[in-house]
Amino acid sequence: MILEELHLRKCHMQGKQGVKALFVVCRSIRELVLEDCWGLDDSVFAAATIFSRSIRSLSLKGCSILTTQGLESVLLSWRELDRLRVVSCNNIKDSEITAELVTLFSLLKELKWQPDSRSMLSASLAGTGIGQKGSRSLRWN
């Protein structure tokens, strides 16, 4: 039996080694959900690179100290990602989105991007049907 989903809500994640050990044990998961996890910073989240061959879906909500750079460093290592949800993660900024992340976003089947109340990417996609569940995806060639 293989664990396919890992949902962590209101967890204390400051122990980098403990998080890394958890991720090693769960390395074959396809979906990772992190909600309101205290202490989830860039260095702790970096342990998620272990999922490079398995993760298809990531949902982040309320991960307020994770930055755009920390998110990008992990996302770009994941080869199978097709769904991304980032909500209320105030240190993830539209202004820090790189061309590599834009390319990754364009390949996703589903994208929900509302890292903070000032998110422009989410607003610019509104009404296009892009990034919504069951909708068409945006492709740049």
pTM: 0.82
pLDDT, tens only, 6-38:
999 999 987 889 999 999 999 999 999 999 999
Tokens of 44: 């702790």
C-alpha pair distances (Å), 77 with each of 10, 20, 38, 113: 26, 16, 23, 19
The contacts found for 10-13 with CB under 8 angstroms, 24 or more apart, are 10/35, 10/36, 10/37, 10/38, 11/37, 11/38, 12/37, 12/38, 12/39, 13/37, 13/38, 13/39, 13/40, 13/44
With CA atoms as reference, report the closest residue to 2 among 34, 27, 22, 33.
27
User: Residue 122 — very low, low, confident or very high, per pLDDT cuts 50/70/90?
Assistant: low
Task: Rounding to the nearest 10 degrees, give the CA dihedral for residues 106, 109, 110, 116.
Answer: -20
Domains of the chain with CATH codes? 5-125 (3.80.10.10)
Check pLDDT > 60 for residue 125.
Answer: no
pLDDT, tens only, 52-65:
889 999 999 999 99
pLDDT, tens only, 63-113:
999 999 999 999 999 999 999 999 999 999 999 999 999 999 999 999 999
